[in-house]
Structure 1
Amino acid sequence: MSLDTAIQHHQATINGISMHYVEQGQGLPVILCHGFPHTWYSWRHQIPAIADAGFRVIAPDLRGMGGTEGPAQPEEYGLPQINADLMGLLAHIGEPKAIFVGLDFGAFAIYDLALMHPDKVIAVIGLENPAAPHNPEVPPLTEYAAMAKNHFLHIEYFREPDAADIDLHAHTRAFLSQVYYALSGDYDFGQVMAHPPGISYREALPTPPPLPWSWLTEADMDVYEAAYLASGFTGGLNWYRSMDIKWQQRKALEGVTSEVPAYFIGSENDVDLEHFHGDHPIEKMRAQFPDLRLVKMIPEAGHLMQMECGEETNRILKLYLEDITSKLDI
C-alpha cells in the first residue's frame, strides 16, 4: 500500500477549530501525534506501514500547525483544549478509543490524555520524549529563562511574541532545513546551545548540507514549506508559550498515575533526552505509567527518528502494536 494512492485527506470542524487529518487503512485505530515544527507528513513512513499491518491510521495536524487552525492566544493551547481536540477527533471518526503514538509535543499530549481521560486510550507509545511527573517547584519558562542567561536557548527565544514568528515565516524553507538538520543524528544540537544569548534561532542553527539527505528530499521539504507558509509559525510557537499554563494545570495531576499500557522508543543522539529530561528519564516515566511494558533505543537517530530511521522505527512500532493487540480482551 503506497502513501500516495491510499491516503485520504480530511478537513473537519473539531472542538471549534478547522482540523486537517489524514487516514489510511482499516482496523483498530492508531492516532499519530507530531511535534514542532512538523505536520502529519512527518509520519509519512509510518502511515502505510502501520496500515499494512492491519490498523486504521489517523494522523492529524495538531492545533496551530499545518492545515489545522490555531488561535493566536497561548491560553488556547492548554490541557483542556488539546485534550478536547484529541477526544473530538475520536468522536468525529466514530471511535470510542485508540492507540496513541506521539513525539515531542505530541508525546506530552498523549500522556496528558492518558492521565486525564484513560477511558479514551488503549495504549500510548511515546517517541523521544518520556513522560515525567509534574515538578511543582519552578514554572518551566522561568527555569528556561535562567538557563538562557548563560547561553542561547530556543525556548527563551520563542517566548516573546512576534519576533520569532516574523523571522521564521520570512525564511520558512531555510529555517526548516536548518532545524531538521540540527535535530538529526547528523549534528550535535549542543553546538546550537553553545552560542551566546541574544541572537536569533536561525543565527544559532548550523548551515545544513544541500538536499537531498539520506532521509529528506527536496520534495519532502516542499511539503513542509508549503504547510508553514500557509499556517505561519505562531500556532506552533504557542505550544512553547503555553508551557507555564500547562504547568499550572498539571498541578491537578500531582501524584496521579495511569493504568494505560505504555511503550517508549528513544534515540541515543536525541537532544531532548540528553538535555531536557534530567537523570533516569525512563524511571520517571514508570512513576506515572507503572504499566510501562517495553522500552527500546535506536542508536543512529537524533530527535527525528521516524524520518531518519523510518524502517527501524516501523519495526519497533509494529512490535509494540502486536504486543498491545495480543493482550486486548476483544
Structure 2
Amino acid sequence: MAGWVHRHAGINGIAMHYVEQGEGPLLILCHGFPHLWLSWHRQIGALADAGWRVVAPDMRGMGQTEAPADHRAYDVDHTVGDLTGLLDHLGEQQAVFAGLDFGLFAIYDLAARYPERVRAIIALQNPHFPDRADITPLAEAADWASRHFVHIHYFVPPGVADADLAAQPRDFLHRLFYALSGDYHYLDVWKHPPGVTYLDALPQAPPLPWSWLAEWEMEWFVSEYSRSGFTGGLNWYRAMDLRWHQRAPYRGARLTPPFYFIGSTNDVDLEAWHGDDPLGTIGDHHADVRRIEMIEGAGHMMQLERSDAVTRLMLDFLKEIA
C-alpha cells in the first residue's frame, strides 16, 4: 500500500503501531472509535508529498496497538502520555496534530497540559470537549438511556457490548459506518427503546461498495477488529468519567495552539453534543481560531466520505502553519 512504512514501538508502557510517510515537520493524525490509522489513508500520501512527516498511529486499545483490559488505563494520564511518548520516540519536541472523535479529545487534553508540544490543531467534527460542567458524561448518558437507546450507556457494562460486537464484527461495522455517514441520520438510532442492543438499533446498510467506501477498506476494519476485539475501544467510553474529573483544572479554559476546524453538515457529534451554536462558540474554547470550514452533506467519517475535500483543506491549513 502506497509509500508508508508500518512501525511498532514500546511507548508509554504499551506496544504501539503507527504508519509513517514523508520527511519534514511532524504531523500526527489521531483517529476515534471504531476507526484505525486506515481512516487517514487517503490523506497520508498527499500530506507527505507536501513536505510533512506524517505519522498515523493506531490509538491505544485499537488496531495493532496494545489494548489494556483495565478501563483506567484510558484516562487522561495515559492517553496524553501516549502522545508525548510518541513525540519523544520520534525525536520531536512538538507536532501539528489532526484528530477526530476520541483521538481529537486526546489532542485537546495534550494541548491543555502541554501546549508547547502542540504546534497547531486541525480538528475534525468536534470543535471542543463535549463535557458539561454540571454532570459527568456517563451519568448524562444513563439519564438519556432511561428514555431511549444510547450507545454510550450500552457500552459501559464490562463484557456485554464486547461480546455482542465480537460475535458479529462485520455486521456491526457495516451498519455503524453507514449510520454515521451523511447517507443516514444517526440520531434515528436513538429512537429505539431502552434495553436493545446496538445491532438492534442500527439500520440495515446497503451492500458494498458505496460511493465513499470500497469493500477492501471495510474488510481491513473487520479483519483488525475481528482479531483484536472491541474491548480496547469500548474502554475509551468506560473511562469518560475519569477523564471528566481529570479535566477539572482546565475546564472552561481556552486552548492556546492555533486552531483549524473542519466540520460537516450531517455529523452526529455537532448535532448532539456541542450545543445550539457549535461554530459560534468555538472562540470560547480556543484562543487562536484561524479557520472554520464546513463540508456539505458529509457525516461523521469525513476523511473517507469527502476525502478530497478534507485533504484539500488540510493542505491549505498546513501551508499557513508552515
TM-score by length of structure 1 reads: 0.95
Secondary structure of 1:215 counterpart: coil
Counterpart residue number, 1:52: 49
Secondary structure of 1:182 counterpart: helix
Counterpart residue number, 1:239: 236
Secondary structure of 2:318 counterpart: helix
Secondary structure of 1:187 counterpart: coil
Query: 1:283 offset after TM fit, Å?
Result: 3.9
Which residues in structure 2 correspond to 1:20-99 (within 5 Å)?
Answer: 20-99=17-96
Structure 2 contact 2–45 (Cα < 8 Å) conserved: no
Q: Does 1:275 align with 2:272?
A: yes
Q: Kindly tell me: are residues 53 and 318 of structure 1, through their superposed partners in 2, closer, same or farther at Cα, counting changes over 3 Å? A: same
Amino acid at match of 1:20: H
Counterpart residue number, 2:288: 291
Counterpart residue number, 1:229: 226
Amino acid at match of 1:199: V
Amino acid at match of 1:210: P
Counterpart residue number, 1:110: 107
Query: 1:73 offset after TM fit, Å?
Result: 1.1
CA distance in 1, matches of 2:203, 2:216: 21
Query: 1:133 offset after TM fit, Å?
Result: 7.6
CA distance in 1, matches of 2:130, 2:148: 27
CA distance in 2, matches of 1:39, 1:59: 9
Which residues in structure 2 correspond to 1:145-294 (within 5 Å)?
Answer: 145-294=142-291
Counterpart residue number, 1:328: none
Deviation above 4 Å: which 4+ runs of structure 1?
none
Query: 1:15 offset after TM fit, Å?
Result: 0.3
Secondary structure of 2:279 counterpart: helix
CA distance in 2, matches of 1:132, 1:279: 15
Match of 1:303 among 300, 304, 314: 300
CA distance in 2, matches of 1:230, 1:96: 34
CA RMSD of aligned residues (A): 1.1
Contiguous gaps of at least 5 residues in structure 1? 326-330
Q: Does 1:313 align with 2:310?
A: yes
CA distance in 2, matches of 1:134, 1:154: 17
Secondary structure of 1:136 counterpart: coil
Q: Kindly tell me: are residues 284 and 75 of structure 1, through their superposed partners in 2, closer, same or farther at Cα, counting changes over 3 Å? A: farther
TM-score by length of structure 2 reads: 0.98
Secondary structure of 1:161 counterpart: coil
1:34-56 CA deviation, whole Å, 9 max, x = no partner?
Answer: 01001000001111111111111
Amino acid at match of 2:294: M
Structure 1 contact 133–254 (Cα < 8 Å) conserved: no
Structure 1 contact 23–57 (Cα < 8 Å) conserved: yes
Structure 1 contact 37–236 (Cα < 8 Å) conserved: yes
CA distance in 2, matches of 1:134, 1:9: 35
Identity, % of aligned pairs?
52
Query: 1:195 offset after TM fit, Å?
Result: 0.8
CA distance in 1, matches of 2:310, 2:159: 36
Structure 1 contact 21–58 (Cα < 8 Å) conserved: yes
CA distance in 2, matches of 1:67, 1:281: 34
CA distance in 2, matches of 1:298, 1:323: 20
Query: 1:74 offset after TM fit, Å?
Result: 1.1
Structure 2 contact 130–274 (Cα < 8 Å) conserved: no
CA distance in 1, matches of 2:80, 2:301: 24
Query: 1:76 offset after TM fit, Å?
Result: 0.8
Secondary structure of 2:262 counterpart: strand
Query: 1:134 offset after TM fit, Å?
Result: 5.3
CA distance in 1, matches of 2:132, 2:2: 46
